[in-house]
């Protein structure tokens, strides 16, 4: 009877009472710590969360558990977390360092390539000037600057206008820079090429830094060290050796010619320009100053060109010569300047200037292959002495400045 009534008590809908009884029993069993029941309940709960897509709840629970484990100082957990963080930091730092080194190496490689192009363009200036011997030198210089001025117009006009008061305030040194460095330096080079070889011109041009050092010592009162004086004497000896082709007995005879004397004027002109640049160029915008210098040079050279035509007659210009003039106005006058400035910003002036010592080598090779000039062993030996002297003078001066900078620090 009791069994029948119990089953009947379930059948009329006693599921709610039975569920309540199960809940009470579950809580009792949890509080009693029945083996395996807690793990089973946790497994059921995790599967239920996963079925409901409770990833956010899972992550939140993990974060809470992590913070609890850290606060509780669970053995090994904090050390493991710190080790993972250190390894991640080291790997990230190494990656950034490698990226920085790769970027710096790429910039330096580009700067080296730019300086080699500069050397080729400057050698091309001498070789092209020699190839254009049929044109008068002032005519070559004028049209070279005319092309350069047209190229610089969109780049330098705005800066020239903005700094117009500065140009007026420093008009005397600016005019001196213009006349020595832009107007007459290349004019002297093209003039000397009418009488001497491109090889001699390139070797003598390499001695410009040495003459600049001497003028700096006399005008700016810069002191020369022993190694600098040795470099000066070595470069001078090498230049004389090239001019005389190793035959010092010809010093008063045919070894010297008008072209060599004109190149001496070009060297002195550029040395004066370099000193003025060191003192005053920082006042002016780079492209704006070059644009104004080119314009002033055109004004100065135009009447001289007309006078030259009165003596030599109006020159007949071929299309190949027109191409040569465009080369002179674009590559040595403009592109080489941009590449050189970029290389100096990456390598520094001392390292960049070392590349210019390769100018005689490239010019000699070009003169031999293109112009058919003969190169003697005496000229190679003299060019080597000039290069060594220039490097000795530049390196010793740079090391002295570095020691001063280190002492100042």
Q: Residues 77-112: pLDDT tens digits?
A: 555 555 655 555 556 666 677 777 777 778 878 888
Do 12 and 125 lie in one domain? The reply is no
Domain assignment present for residue 83? The answer is no
Quick one: 182 and 247 in the same domain? yes
* Residue whose C-alpha is closest to residue 181's, from 282, 288, 258, 296: 296
How far CA 286 is from CA of 158, 161, 164, 194, 289, in Å, comes to: 12, 13, 13, 32, 5
Q: Is residue 80 part of a domain?
A: no
pLDDT digits (tens, 9 = 90+) for 125-153: 999 999 998 899 999 999 999 999 999 99
Number of compact structural domains in the chain: 3
Q: For residue range 21-76, what is the model confidence (pLDDT) as tens digits?
A: 666 666 665 555 555 545 554 555 555 445 444 455 555 556 655 655 555 555 55
* Domain enclosing residue 20, as ranges: 1-30
Please report whether residue 81 resides in a domain. no
321 is a domain residue: yes
Buried b (16+ CB within 10 A) or exposed e, 368-394: eeeeebeeeeebeebbebbbbbbbbbb
Cα separation, 363 vs 127, whole angstroms: 7
Say yes or no: 7 and 152 in one domain. no
Q: Is residue 88 part of a domain?
A: no
Dihedral (C-alpha) 11, 16, 17, 19: value to the nearest 10 degrees? Answer: 110
Query: pLDDT class for 284, splitting at 50, 70, 90?
Result: very high
| 171-209 residue pLDDT tens | 999 999 999 989 999 999 999 999 988 878 887 887 777
Give me the phi and psi of 406, to 5 degrees please.
-65, -40
Same domain? For 8 and 55 the reply is no
Helix then strand count (H, E) for the chain reads: 19, 0
pTM of the model: 0.65
Looking at the fold, whether 194 and 254 belong to one and the same domain comes out as yes
In a domain, 86, yes or no: no
Residues 69 and 117 in one domain: no
- Are 67 and 159 contained in the same domain? no
Q: Is 218 helix (H, G, I), strand (E, B) or coil?
A: helix
**Would residue 102 count as lying in a domain?**
yes
Has residue 354 been placed in a domain?
yes
Q: Is there a single domain that holds both residue 68 and residue 117?
A: no
Same domain, 142 and 48: no
Q: Tell me the per-residue pLDDT of 263-280, one tens digit each, with 9 for 90 and over.
A: 989 988 988 888 888 788
Q: How far apart are CA 303 and CA 409, in angstroms?
A: 54
State how far the Cα of 177 lies from the Cα of 270, in Å rounded to an integer: 9
**Same structural domain for residues 24 and 46?**
no
- Considering the domain architecture, whether residues 19 and 123 belong to the same structural domain is answered as no
Tell me, what's the pLDDT at 8? 43
* Residue 222 and residue 197 share a domain: yes
């Amino acid at each position: 009877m009791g069994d029948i009534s119990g089953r009947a008590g379930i059948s009329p809908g006693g599921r709610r009472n039975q569920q309540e009884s199960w809940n009470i029993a579950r809580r009792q069993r949890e509080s009693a710590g029945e083996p395996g029941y807690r793990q089973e309940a946790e497994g059921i709960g995790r599967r239920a969360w996963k079925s409901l897509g409770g990833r956010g709840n899972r992550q939140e629970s993990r974060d809470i558990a992590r913070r609890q484990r850290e606060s509780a100082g669970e053995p090994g957990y904090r050390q493991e977390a710190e080790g993972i963080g250190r390894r991640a930091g080291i790997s990230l730092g190494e990656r950034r360092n490698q990226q920085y080194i790769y970027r710096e190496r790429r910039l330096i490689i580009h700067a080296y390539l730019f300086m080699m192009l500069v050397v080729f363009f400057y050698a091309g200036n001498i070789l092209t000037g020699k190839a254009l011997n049929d044109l008068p030198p002032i005519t070559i210089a004028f049209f070279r600057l005319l092309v350069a001025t047209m190229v610089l117009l969109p780049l330098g006009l705005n800066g020239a206008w903005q700094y117009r008061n500065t140009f007026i305030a420093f008009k005397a040194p600016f005019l001196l820079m213009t006349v020595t460095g832009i107007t007459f330096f290349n004019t002297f080079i093209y003039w000397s090429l009418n009488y001497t070889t491109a090889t001699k011109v390139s070797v003598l041009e390499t001695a410009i830094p040495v003459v600049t050092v001497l003028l700096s010592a006399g005008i700016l009162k810069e002191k020369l060290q022993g190694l600098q004086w040795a470099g000066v004497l070595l470069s001078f000896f090498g230049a004389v050796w090239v001019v005389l082709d190793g035959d010092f007995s010809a010093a008063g005879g045919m070894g010297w010619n008008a072209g060599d004397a004109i190149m001496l004027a070009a060297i002195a002109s550029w040395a004066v320009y370099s000193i003025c640049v060191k003192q005053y160029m920082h006042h002016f915008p780079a492209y704006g100053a070059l644009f104004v210098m080119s314009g002033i040079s055109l004004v100065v050279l135009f009447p001289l060109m007309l006078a030259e035509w009165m003596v030599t007659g109006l020159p007949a210009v071929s299309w190949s010569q027109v191409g040569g003039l465009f080369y002179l106005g674009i590559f040595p006058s403009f592109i080489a300047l941009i590449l050189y400035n970029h290389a100096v910003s990456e390598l520094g002036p001392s390292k960049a200037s070392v590349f210019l010592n390769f100018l005689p080598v490239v010019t000699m090779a070009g003169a031999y292959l293109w112009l058919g000039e003969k190169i003697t062993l005496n000229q190679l030996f003299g060019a080597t002495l000039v290069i060594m002297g220039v490097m000795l003078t530049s390196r010793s001066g740079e090391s002295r400045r570095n020691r001063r900078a280190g002492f100042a620090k």
